[in-house]
Amino acid sequence: MKNKTKVIFHIDLNAFYASCQLIEDPYLKGKAFIVGGSAVTKRGVVLTASYEARKYGIRSGMNVKDAFDLYPHVLVAPTTFDLYKKHSKRFFDYLKTWTPLMMKASIDEAYLDMTHHDNPVEVANIIQKTLYEDFQLPNSIGIAPTLFLAKMASDIKKPLGITILRKRDVVDKLFPLPIDDLYGLGRKTYPKLIEEGILTIGDFTLKKNHEKILNYMSEEHYQSFLLHLYGNSTNIIDNEYVKPKSISQETTLNYDIDIEEMIIEFMEPLIDDIVEKLIKHQLFAKTIGYKLKTNTFKLQTKSYTLLKPTQDLNEIKEAIKDLFIKHYDHTPIRLIGVYVSNLDEDHTPFNLFTYHLFHQHP
């Protein structure tokens, strides 16, 4: 008997933190606002932006100051994690009524194995409508035979989209998309690929671009992407998860530097990426650190444990900067890395499917 093709849903709540704020404060409806940081000091990081704010280029992970530079009249809603926990729990509890095979991907997204349903598209419409109308949580749903393709599908139509992505659809639906839409590709990596003329996901798969791509990632990492893209990666929904021990980012320089200010400047975008991952997966770091490597491969590492776990961008930046200034001996270096460890999770499981997101390097 032929095995039945798996039907995986990826359900992603659209602008989740903003949606929660709208439920509590209807005044914000139709207005450009962000969640996170302070309107007074203009410090902190944007957890999410309403779709009205996104029209001005404001996005999650951005410094609040930069958001105000893009749109000086943007409103700032307070960060209320108890509120997000409440609505996240309602979201997951509702999904469990459809299948026990559910896996949390973050506070606002989940994978479901819906293979046992005869009409998955009809079910997706019911789920989307219920979450939107009864729970006031707009969402997008991707339907595919693997977790990765379901994730890619849910990103195609936002907000309130339902997208079916079969293996045979990959070339037509995914290959024309811009390279920065490739899930799991680092924010430091895709600009370099674009500079090489690799503009679309389809370009990423071409043999003629293979050697160029290997300048920015390992062969193993590249082959992993191809497996995912062609629908040959996991289709298993697993409720178990492995908690990451650390999140790290690093960059290799084209030349040696020993100027303190320049090294700090290189560190800052790496820290931005780490904090974005902490926020996305509701993790809090207690230990921060950096590593430096010379062109002779001599490694220098330093770390510091904070009084309490944090995911605050400015706090983490200041702590790493202070640690670096205290210990740096002005040896010329070629590689710069930063990391956080001793992680404390709020309530959101971590799973092996997203493991590569926590350990990819530009």
Phi/psi of residue 284, nearest 5 degrees: -125, 135
Mean pLDDT of the chain: 89
Q: Which residues contact 156 (CB under 8 A, 6 or more apart)?
A: 142, 163, 165, 173, 177
Confirm whether 345 is a catalytic residue: no
CATH no. for residue 207? 1.10.150
Q: Which domain holds residue 198?
A: 173-229
> Do both 163 and 188 map to the same domain?
no
Catalytic residue among 24, 52, 109, 240: 109
Question: Does residue 167 sit within a domain?
Answer: yes
pLDDT of residue 227: 95
Q: Inform me whether the pLDDT recorded for 358 exceeds 80.
A: no
Please report the pLDDT score of residue 186 as a whole number.
81
Domain total of the chain = 4
Residue 157 is part of a domain; what is its CATH number? Answer: 3.30.70.270
94 & 29 share domain? no
Whether 108 and 167 share a structural domain = yes
Give the CATH number of the domain where residue 66 resides.
Answer: 3.40.1170.60
* Domain annotation covers residue 240: no
- The two three-digit tokens of residue 39, written as one number: 């309107």
CATH number at residue 267: 3.30.1490.100
User: Do 259 and 214 share a structural domain?
Assistant: no
Measured distance CA(47)–CA(62) in Å, rounded: 8
Structure tokens of 263? 């090294």
Q: Are residues 109 and 57 in the same domain?
A: no
pLDDT tens sequence across 279-302:
877 789 999 999 999 878 889 999
**154, 171, 188 - which closes a domain:** 171
User: Alpha helix (H) ranges present in the chain?
Assistant: 16-24, 51-54, 64-70, 81-96, 120-133, 147-156, 170-173, 190-195, 201-205, 210-213, 219-229, 260-280, 313-327, 355-358
**Between residues 45 and 267, the one the model is more confident about:** 267
Distance CA 23, CA 29 (A): 9
How is residue 350 written in tokens? 């971590």
159 lies in the same domain as 177: no
Same domain, 218 and 274: no
Q: Is residue 275 part of a domain?
A: yes
Write out pLDDT tens, residues 42-76.
888 888 999 999 999 999 888 999 999 999 999 99
Residue 241 lies in a domain: no
289 within domain boundaries: yes
Does residue 198 form part of some domain?
Answer: yes
CA distance 60 to 328: 32
CA distance 52 to 152: 24
Tokens 């040896």 sit on residue: 331
